[in-house]
Each structure stands twice: as C-alpha cells, then as structure tokens.
Structure 1
Amino acid sequence: MKRVLIILLAILFKCIIKCQSEGSTTGRDLDDVSNDNWKSVADQNDHILIIFCKDVDDKCKNTVIFFNNYPSPPGFNADLKILQSTDLVLANELGASDFPKVVYYRQQSPAHYDGDLNDEDFSHWLLQAQEISVKILTDDTFEHLTQAVTGSTTGDWLVLFYKDDCPVCKQSLIDFETVAVKLKGKTNVAQVDMNVNPKLVDRFKLTKCPSIIFFKQGTMYRYEMEKVSVKILMSFVQAWYRNMKAEKIPFEPTAFDKVTDSIVLYLKKQLNGPYGKILLGVYGGSIVLLVLLICSCCLRKSPNKEKAQ
C-alpha cells in the first residue's frame, strides 16, 4: 500500500511538472511590432528586445518560447520591452538578415545576439550590452584616447571610418556595435565620421568607405576583406590581422608636412593632366639648370680660395 502511494505521488508530481512546462511554452504572449508602429514603440521605450522570425520553424518557435519566460537579470536596471516581428522591412532597418535574429535596441543603436539561448549566456551578454559599447573618435581626441603612436597603452583599437551617406556603412556600424559588446574589456572598438574628421582621413591615407584599421602595439593593420561581418571582424581581431601588411602608425602631420604634401599632390595632378609631358620637360630642365648653377658657383669659389692661400 505504501509503495502504491509513493508511485501515485510520483505520477502526480510528473503531471504537475508537465503541466507547468506546457504552460511555460505559452508564458506571456509577445507583442508584435512592425515598421508601421516602430517609431512610436522606439519613442516610448528605451530598451527594446526584438525577436525577428521569417518562417515559423522549430528554431524560431524555441526562440520565442525562451523569451516568453525570460526575466530581466539582476543588475539590469531598466525596463526591458520584449517584442516579436516578421516585418522584413524593419528587420533590414535594424540589420537583421538571417533568422531568427535577436536584436537589442537602446539609445538608437541596435546590437545583435548570436550566442546560445540559455539564461546564463544571454543574461551576461545583455548586461554587457546595456550601454552602447562603440566609442566615438575625432580629429581632436584620436591620439589622446588611443595613444596609437606611443604603443597603445590604452589597449588595442579596432576603428571603423565611415560616412553617413554611405549605404554600406549602415550595416557596418551595426556589426561594429555587436563586435564591441563581444570584445568589451578586451579590445576597444570605435568609429570615426570621415565627413567631419578630415585630418584623420589624410593621416591614414583613406581612399574608400568604409575603411577599417586595427591598431595594435604601435602597428596598424588595414582590413582588406571585401565583406564586413561580425564573424569576419572577430576573426580579424583575434588572429587574421597577422596576414595583413604591418604598417608603422604615422605621426600627426605638422604644418610643414601639410605644405609639402600639397605641393606633391599639385605636381602629380599637373603631370597627369593633358600637358603632363610638357611640364615634365620644363620641371626636368629647371632641375638640371639649378644643378648647373650650383656647380658653377662652387667652381668659382674654388680659385678664389687658392689665390687667398
């Protein structure tokens, strides 16, 4: 009789657990958000988590179920609004191209989560991503903050040079914010607006947008891959940079450097023009004439010295 009672209690316990687990798959229903009401939602909430799904498959269902029951972790001092969306226009706006995709939007900046879906890993990431991680560098602050020439005593720096009017840069900025969260405490991640920081553009001889440079221990490595993605950027910082050409970080240009550079650029422009060959002959002749004049002066001084002796 006692054994039967124990078995019945065990069965009852399993039924309770099963009911709870089935109930947890429903949890709270996530509200939908689309491109039509996104602006209103973003204006009313400072911290928004969006689960983007394209097809209703098992992976997407499991992701939604996980966030149906997800509580904000201890230390997360903000109201977290969790939503779901199938709007591909909004997904594109926030940089989501593969699905399901978890996007955390705060301070008008999205960051993507691509780790395992468990409380410990996601909560750690969420706490790391609570504040924007990418730093802003300018002509005036670059050297002071990075200390690039002196050996980067502030650490290594991965820097994105971008333009607001560059379509490709929009996705790169989102990728950089995602990378910055992953590398927090290990590598500094920053961005430079090329339109308002011409000195840095000239200093590093930047000719394309976006441009990415990794500054490490007084040496710089240019990112030369055509595609920019979180996975490739992480690989580049961790090891792949060794396959790039190591360049010495140039000093901040002096006034004399700027003048000489301007002269060189002017001469190059003239020589590449329609009258380049004529100008080349004129410049060449002028140099030869100057050399002859110097030699002539030296020869005239020599006899005078001999007479004086």
Structure 2
Amino acid sequence: MKIIILITVLLQAFNFGRCHLEVVQDEEVLNLIRTEKYVVVLFSRKYCEPCDNFENELTSLREDLVETLNAWVVKVEDSQLSRLYSPDKEPILVFFRHGIPLLYDGPVNDEYILHTFTTNKEPLSKELTDNTFEHLTQASTGATTGDWFVMFYSTDCVECSRLQARWEAVGAYIKSRINIARVNKGGSGAVTGRRFDVTTVPAFILFRQGKMYRYHLHKYDVESLRDFAQSWYKNVTPEKIPLPKSPFDDFVTMVVVYMKENPWLLQLALGTFLLGLFSSLAMKFVQKKQPEKKKSDKKSKEKSKNK
C-alpha cells in the first residue's frame, strides 16, 4: 500500500512539473538571452488568470518549441525587465532570436504562437546606414526593391530601445508586403536622417512608390504602426523623396540642425558679432578724433610762435 501511495505522489509531482514552465530570475533570463540562440520568455505575475492561460498554451507546445527550434521556454514573475519589451501589463510573451526580441501580439492559441515563432526565426528589421540606405531601398530611383517602413532611432533614446520588440512584431505582420528597417540617426545614419529632415526620435517614415509618408501619431503600439503601413498612410499628405545631399549641402544642413538643437550657440554667435561690431565702430571713432586733436595742437603751436 505504501509503495502505491509513493508511486502516486511521484506521478503527481511529475505531472505537476510538466504542467508548469520553469521559473527563472532576471539574471538567468539575461544570461539565456546572451548565450542561447532561441529563448521564449513569458513575463508573468502571481494571481493573474490571463498569465495562467498563456502558460497553459506554452506548456502544451513546449516540446514542439524544443524540437523545432531547440528553444528554451521559461517564465519569470514580477520581472523588472518586462517594460523593456512592452508597456502593457503581464502577461507579455517575447521570443528572442540571437538576442533580438520579438513581442508576441497574437491570440492565446498554441498553434498560432508556434506558427509565429517558427516563421520568424531570424530578426526581421534590417539595419540601414548612410552607405546602404539608397542602394537597398532605391527610394529615389523607382523603389524596385518594394516598399520600406523605416524607424529612425538613436542609441541614447530610451523609448527607441523599448520599441525594438514591438518593431519586430510589426515586421512579422507586414513582411510579405513591406520591408522594415532601422536607421541610427545619431550614428551611422546621421546623413540619412538629415536628408529626410528627421529631428526627433523615434520617427517613422513609409517609403512607397516614390513617395514618403510620415507617421505623426504618438502611438507606438503594434496595431497602430501596422495599420499605418498597410492602409492608414493614405490619410497623410505624401511628400516627394529628396535626392541624397551633396557633402556641402549636408554640411550646411548639419550646421543648421546643430544650431537649432543648441540655441545658446546662436545667442553666443550673435553676441560675439555685436561685440565685434561695436568694437570696430569704437575704434573708427577714436581714430577719427585723433587727427583733429593733432591738428588743433599744431595750430596752437603756430600761434605761440607768431607771438
């Protein structure tokens, strides 16, 4: 009888382990992201029914994810990292490919989750630079490579960093029709940023059939960005795509942009100019007075001699 009870307890423990994801801490998650090719992370919290529903779906397809992707499938509760990938509350499901996050934005369905992950095993967003932008997009020469939805960012922009997982999710929805890319306005894409008059980040521009459409909304959720790229851009006034700037024109633009970003420099330059102007006028005034004084002294000496 005792043996039967022991076997029953062991089976229950085994089944319990199979029905729950492995719980890890933030440090372990970061280590997995750095070292493993594929990692699926459920950001969860306690006493959360939607979180439990997601966990049940993930548990049912965990073996498929391990078999098809050799992926780690883990859960972390009340994590400080969750806001790096989504502004929403838990549950948040993120698929890391070579460390690049993709936010899952679909239904709570194991088949849909598996399809999304297995069809997006590689990062979707291309990194464009000043040297590669025109060659890959052909934005001003006919756009024969298709439409491009481009996010301009900078490494010191916190919101831009938090957008990466959502941007990959946008790419997962539109990749069959539209290319997505990123341009580092503060680094390797500075010239390109000035070419398209991008002054603040994050900024989004859709390049379509020789025209460009700017995303003016301050809503950076997956649905809003996806809808803009697919159809909502028609509500925006299209702009003609400017040709690449010559080095001189780009230098002038760079100076203008820098002065706008640093207005104190303009005030300093204006103050220096006015100071120089007043100094020049004062010098001319002094020089004009000196000959008159010398002439007056000469006349006085001549009068003294005549006496």
TM-score by length of 1: 0.73
CA gap 1:263/1:82 in 2 versus in 1, 3 angstroms: closer
Confirm or deny: 8 A CA contact 1:75 1:127 kept in the other structure.
no
2:216 maps to amino acid: E
CA gap 1:219/1:276 in 2 versus in 1, 3 angstroms: farther
1:51 lines up with 2:42 in the alignment: yes
Task: Specify the SS of the correspondent of 1:252.
Answer: coil
Aligned residue in 2 for 1:105: 96
Aligned residue in 1 for 2:235: 243
Confirm or deny: 8 A CA contact 1:134 1:190 kept in the other structure.
yes
- Structure 2 CA distance for aligned equivalents of residues 273 and 60 of structure 1: 60
1:169 lines up with 2:143 in the alignment: no
Superposition deviation, residue 216 in structure 1? 0.6
Superposition deviation, residue 176 in structure 1? 0.9
Aligned residue in 2 for 1:66: 57
Mapping for residues 208-227 of structure 1, pairs under 5 Å: 208-227=200-219
Confirm or deny: 8 A CA contact 2:66 2:72 kept in the other structure.
no
Aligned residue in 1 for 2:74: 83
Superposition deviation, residue 49 in structure 1? 0.8
CA gap 1:24/1:249 in 2 versus in 1, 3 angstroms: farther
- Structure 2 CA distance for aligned equivalents of residues 112 and 175 of structure 1: 6
Q: 2:170 aligns with which of 179, 183, 196?
A: 179
Superposition deviation, residue 96 in structure 1? 5.6
Superposition deviation, residue 220 in structure 1? 0.4
Q: 1:204 aligns with which of 176, 185, 196?
A: 196
CA gap 1:199/1:259 in 2 versus in 1, 3 angstroms: closer
1:115 lines up with 2:106 in the alignment: yes
- 5+ unaligned residues in a row in structure 1: which ranges? 1-22, 278-309
Superposition deviation, residue 113 in structure 1? 1.0
- Structure 2 CA distance for aligned equivalents of residues 160 and 112 of structure 1: 17
1:230 lines up with 2:222 in the alignment: yes
- Structure 2 CA distance for aligned equivalents of residues 111 and 266 of structure 1: 35
Superposition deviation, residue 120 in structure 1? 3.1
- 5+ unaligned residues in a row in structure 2: which ranges? 1-13, 261-265, 275-307
Superposition deviation, residue 33 in structure 1? 1.9
Q: Any idea what the Cα deviations from partners look like across 1:174-217, whole Å, max 9, x if unmatched?
A: 22111111212211010011122221022111111111111111
Q: Any idea what the Cα deviations from partners look like across 1:140-192, whole Å, max 9, x if unmatched?
A: 10011001112311111110110111111112222211111121221101001
TM-score by length of 2: 0.73
Superposition deviation, residue 76 in structure 1? 7.2
Confirm or deny: 8 A CA contact 1:51 1:64 kept in the other structure.
yes
Q: Bigger CA drift: 253-262 or 214-223? A: 253-262
Q: Any idea what the Cα deviations from partners look like across 1:77-105, whole Å, max 9, x if unmatched?
A: 53111111113302123336332121111
Aligned residues: 257
- Structure 2 CA distance for aligned equivalents of residues 160 and 147 of structure 1: 17
Identity across the alignment (%): 31
- Structure 2 CA distance for aligned equivalents of residues 265 and 170 of structure 1: 24
- Structure 2 CA distance for aligned equivalents of residues 263 and 27 of structure 1: 62
Confirm or deny: 8 A CA contact 1:158 1:215 kept in the other structure.
yes
Confirm or deny: 8 A CA contact 1:25 1:68 kept in the other structure.
no
1:126 maps to amino acid: F
CA gap 1:264/1:43 in 2 versus in 1, 3 angstroms: closer
Task: Specify the SS of the correspondent of 1:36.
Answer: helix
Task: Specify the SS of the correspondent of 2:50.
Answer: helix
- Structure 2 CA distance for aligned equivalents of residues 267 and 170 of structure 1: 27
Confirm or deny: 8 A CA contact 1:76 1:127 kept in the other structure.
no
Q: 1:27 aligns with which of 18, 33, 51?
A: 18
Mapping for residues 214-293 of structure 1, pairs under 5 Å: 214-255=206-247, 257-258=249-250, 273=270
- Structure 2 CA distance for aligned equivalents of residues 31 and 100 of structure 1: 16
Superposition deviation, residue 68 in structure 1? 1.3
C-alpha RMSD of matched pairs (Å): 3.3
Task: Specify the SS of the correspondent of 2:96.
Answer: strand
Aligned residue in 1 for 2:3: none
Task: Specify the SS of the correspondent of 1:88.
Answer: coil
1:127 lines up with 2:138 in the alignment: no
- Structure 2 CA distance for aligned equivalents of residues 157 and 131 of structure 1: 18
Task: Specify the SS of the correspondent of 2:239.
Answer: strand
Confirm or deny: 8 A CA contact 1:76 1:130 kept in the other structure.
no
